Amino acid sequence: MKTFSPEGMPLGIQIDTTFEEEKVDLPEKCQVLLFTDGLTDAINEGKEHFGQERLLDWLAKSAAAGGTAEQLKERLAGELEKHQSNTALNDDQTFLIMAG
pLDDT tens readout for residues 25-45: 888 888 889 998 889 999 999
Looking at residue 9, what is its pLDDT? 66
In a domain, 84, yes or no: yes
Q: 3-state DSSP call for residue 14?
A: coil
Closest CA to 35 of 92, 100, 99: 92
Q: How confident is the model at residue 70 (pLDDT cuts 50, 70, 90)?
A: very high
User: Is pTM beyond 0.85 here?
Assistant: no
Sign for the CA dihedral angle at 83, 87, 90, 92 comes to positive
In a domain, 34, yes or no: no
Q: How far apart are CA 53 and CA 56, in angstroms?
A: 5
Residue 48 domain-assigned? yes
**Greatest Cα-to-Cα distance within the chain, rounded to the nearest angstrom:** 43
Number of domains within the chain? 1
- For residue 24, tell me if it sits in a domain: no
**Is there a contact between 36 and 92 (Cβ–Cβ < 8 Å)?**
yes
Residue 35 lies in a domain: no
Task: Kindly tell me if the per-residue pLDDT of 20 is higher than 90.
Answer: no
Is the model more confident about 8 or about 46? 46
Residue-range definition of the domain harbouring residue 64: 43-99
